[in-house]
Structure 1
Amino acid sequence: MMAAPLEVLLSSDSGSQLWNCTVFDPHSGSSLLSYRGGNSGARSLTVLGGEYLLSAQLGKNFINVWELQRKDQLQQKIVCPGVVTCLSASPNGLFLAAGVAEAIYLWEVCTGKLLSVLSRHYQDVTCLKFTDDSSHFVSGGKDNLALVWSLSSVVQLDVSHAPEPRHIMSRHSLPITDLHCGLMGAQARVATASLDQTVKVWELSSGELLLSILFDVEIMSVTFDPAEYFVFCGGSDGNIFQVSLCSQSLGREKSFQSDGEGNQVFKGHRNMVTCLSVSMDGTLLLSGSHDETVRLWDIQSKQSIRCLTHKGPVTNAIITPAPANMFLPDSRPTVPLPRFSRHLHASESDSGEPGEVCVRLRLHTQEEEETYLQKADTLNSLMNAVTDKSVFGDCENTKVRIAELEEEVQTLKKMNKDLYDFSSQLLTKPT
């Protein structure tokens, strides 16, 4: 029995009759597992909490769910209000977001509750990505817009007003085909690709455009390497363009030319490149194409190391850290998935007062500590306090504000502890 790889390749196509998606070993190219049932739509294959594999059924209104280690058995179908155009699970495994026509549906995974339906796009949503810290997600659409959403503002209890995006990135002139969020949470950079033949790089925190690169062809897919030295862009002509983000001559806008500065072209695909992904160490590039192949490239030499043939146009191809459960046939998910709700606030009629907040302790977080959202809010208010215009140059003011904030943090911690004690008593009280 050979050791399980650290990283695996996941891919799916729109033509296979036998299986939906396949897991490959990036170093040997051998197929390790196949998941059966249906076909996956583009930009919809996602691993949830290291325990489930999810994908939107091609052209249909439901999401397929497999337990990672039970590949032959579809566990569940999450029925949605329409055809799912893209799907993404938050890296912390707590939230699931899906594009359905021009709306974004956001579910809480532990309860299956539909928390929000966001309708700020004017046409179909084409892609959705979470930041690595799960604090934000970005959506791109056929309306040429990319929207940045703060998760804490979207998960709201006030039903009377719709949440607004944190930023609207509106510099593309044709539909957005793909997007990628870099690392560093709320400080990340985001790349968007479009039919307008450009790739644009943005700062997530301000929504500002940092760089626009013009190509000779429509761009169908985009990704960074983990160090963000390069942005890789998949063309409608089958070429993959590598653009250096570190070159000295980088202005706000540039046209792509291959040169010695790190701007290069990977040649091999015979049709549009629809998906791109880079390995954790930044040495391998994975690409999927409508020419019915997935290719693995050595980034340094630009050589195609491996070509994996598929039965139809490739819809998803990702390199991902190998989840532990994938290769443990006897393991079971620690938490069963609930039934996912199709309607906003559907369970209010049977769960007491409307607007009532249910306190849940998620597995692994049952010790007393602030939630990530509370930590993020505290940090955010501290950062705002330091940069606040009124505080500039006024050291005394800042100290007072920090003291106030620290006091507030203590109060929040106490409230958190009281809530915890109260719910523990409730849970352990003899019935």
Structure 2
Amino acid sequence: MVVVSSDSGSPLWSCSVWDLHGGASLLSYRGSPSSARGLTVLRDGFVLSAQPGKNFISAWELHRKEPLQQKIMCPSVVTCLTASHDGFFLAAGVSESVYLWEVCSGKLLSVLSRHYQEVTCVAFTDDSSHVVTGGKDNMALVWSLSSVVQVDAGSAPDPRHVLARHSLPIADLHCGMMGAQARVATASLDQTVKVWELSSGELLLSVLFDTEILSVTFDPCEYFLFCGGSDGNIFQVSLCTQNTSRDKSFQSDVEGNQLFRGHNDHVTCLSVSLDGTLLLSGSHDETVRVWDVQSKQCVRCIQHKGHVTNAFIMTAPANMFIPDSRPITALPRFSRQLTSEGAEPGEVCVRPTVQSQEEEETYLEKCDRLNLLMNAVTDRLLFTDGDSKVRVTELEEEVKTLKKVNKDLFDFSSQLLTKHSHT
């Protein structure tokens, strides 16, 4: 696992890659700084970055430090950027609109123009079936890709749901797992974080804080909600309480709620490791911190040269640290206009990349894998050193017993075979 981060004060590089557990710097990509929520990694092998106040997106191959000559030009300033988990789609907030491209062809599939003010954040569900956008108009919109990826440029697609319960701009949003059945968390300057059911658009939970909330994320099993405040605190909200009230105020040390203290300025980025044990945070205090979720202690602090604009944990792609490796497919030239060339009216032409031939995990397989990870972590946290030694001794005795049973079965089978051969 690696950390990808960027800040506003580095004139020579756009982002860096760090070792999550050791904190060592592994890679740096040269270029202008990345804007807030303007950094993403394509599964095909590219790093994409939107620069503050610029109307284009820069691209790097994973193993190269110099930016490519090609830039993705947009009609206005790029305010946020993200790629789908399967690497098929790229979405960018461009002023009040969201531009959606097909990565393998560079075709502009749709322009979503239902926000009334600047788009601040955009995120895909883990199965890439939906995209959620948030803006300064206090709204979050849920879009079904099957309805917005259309050839007919004359009709404007409508969002599946309009989440309009915030009273001030939305600063961040996060989509949980389970695809179309996921839960979505939205953080707002109105000092609330709201949790929604994506399939119905229903509001499930609203938590009021005593400060503006600038970042939000779930842990992988969605036991907790982590919220970054403008006062530097990180709030951990338990989602497994018995309280059935939909509206509540955050109270520390009540119902499993906890605080992470260490930053002294806005917490703008949050990310949780796949096993749920580590929390990553980025702040305007020019640090990225790694926290142990169980103890609430900061285990590592990575110093930056300016306000941290992006910080997230990801699994390092196989070719990230191989100098001679190249992306499986080249980055195409991205279109700036909606076109329907080569397609019949009413048809959608989506050309999958090479990775689409790989078998994807089903939801049940993902759940099983996450359950195994969480159980392993829980066991490690529950057992003290003494208990672990006792457990190891018991397991060793059990192995010896099983070996003896196996030997007895082998001897008995050998005797039967010998007896039959003599007869």
TM over 0.5: yes
Q: Secondary structure at the match of 2:146?
A: helix
Q: Is the 8 A contact 2:44 2:329 kept in 1?
A: no
Return the alpha-carbon distance in structure 2 between the equivalents of residues 179 and 268 of structure 1.
23
Equivalent in the alignment of 2:39: 45
1:196–1:359 CA distance, 2 compared to 1 (3 A): closer
Q: Is the 8 A contact 1:37 1:74 kept in 2?
A: no
Q: Secondary structure at the match of 2:319?
A: helix
Q: Tell me if 1:310 matches 2:301.
A: no
Return the alpha-carbon distance in structure 2 between the equivalents of residues 199 and 352 of structure 1.
43
Return the alpha-carbon distance in structure 2 between the equivalents of residues 123 and 81 of structure 1.
16
Return the alpha-carbon distance in structure 1 between the equivalents of residues 327 and 15 of structure 2.
20
% identical equivalent positions: 74
Equivalent in the alignment of 2:4: 10
1:365–1:289 CA distance, 2 compared to 1 (3 A): closer
TM-score, reference length from structure 2:
0.82
Equivalent in the alignment of 2:132: 138
Equivalent residue letter for 2:202? E
Equivalent residue letter for 2:309? T
Q: Tell me if 1:23 matches 2:13.
A: no
Return the alpha-carbon distance in structure 2 between the equivalents of residues 332 and 185 of structure 1.
30
Structure 2 gaps of 5+ residues are 363-423
Q: Is the 8 A contact 1:293 1:314 kept in 2?
A: yes
Shift of 1:362: 3.6
Q: Tell me if 1:197 matches 2:188.
A: no
Equivalent in the alignment of 1:252: 246
Q: Tell me if 1:208 matches 2:202.
A: yes
Q: Is the 8 A contact 1:50 1:323 kept in 2?
A: no
Equivalent residue letter for 1:44? G
Q: Tell me if 1:363 matches 2:354.
A: yes
Return the alpha-carbon distance in structure 1 between the equivalents of residues 91 and 258 of structure 2.
34
Equivalent in the alignment of 1:92: 86
Equivalent in the alignment of 1:412: none
Q: 1:289 aligns with which of 280, 283, 286?
A: 283
Q: Is the 8 A contact 1:43 1:315 kept in 2?
A: yes
Once the two structures are superposed, residues 113-149 of structure 1 have per-residue CA deviations (whole angstroms, 9 ceiling, x without a partner) of 1111110000000000000000001000000000000
TM-score, reference length from structure 1:
0.80
Equivalent residue letter for 2:188? S
Return the alpha-carbon distance in structure 1 between the equivalents of residues 231 and 187 of structure 2.
15
Equivalent in the alignment of 2:216: 222
Q: Secondary structure at the match of 2:13?
A: coil
Shift of 1:249: 2.1
Q: Tell me if 1:176 matches 2:170.
A: yes
Return the alpha-carbon distance in structure 1 between the equivalents of residues 221 and 343 of structure 2.
49
1:25–1:119 CA distance, 2 compared to 1 (3 A): same
Runs of 4+ in 1 over 4 A off after TM superposition: 351-361, 364-367
Return the alpha-carbon distance in structure 2 between the equivalents of residues 154 and 264 of structure 1.
40
Q: Is the 8 A contact 1:90 1:96 kept in 2?
A: yes
Q: Is the 8 A contact 2:214 2:228 kept in 1?
A: yes
Equivalent residue letter for 2:320? M
Shift of 1:180: 0.2
Aligned pairs for 1:109-124 (under 5 A) are 109-124=103-118
Return the alpha-carbon distance in structure 2 between the equivalents of residues 200 and 50 of structure 1.
33
1:204–1:354 CA distance, 2 compared to 1 (3 A): closer
Equivalent in the alignment of 1:186: 180
Q: Secondary structure at the match of 1:327?
A: coil
1:131–1:357 CA distance, 2 compared to 1 (3 A): closer
Q: Give the number of aligned pairs.
A: 360
Q: Secondary structure at the match of 2:320?
A: helix
Aligned pairs for 1:39-78 (under 5 A) are 39-74=33-68, 76-78=70-72
1:357–1:139 CA distance, 2 compared to 1 (3 A): closer
Q: Secondary structure at the match of 1:122?
A: coil
Higher alpha-carbon Rg: 2
Shift of 1:251: 1.4
Shift of 1:353: 7.4
Structure 1 gaps of 5+ residues are 1-6, 373-431
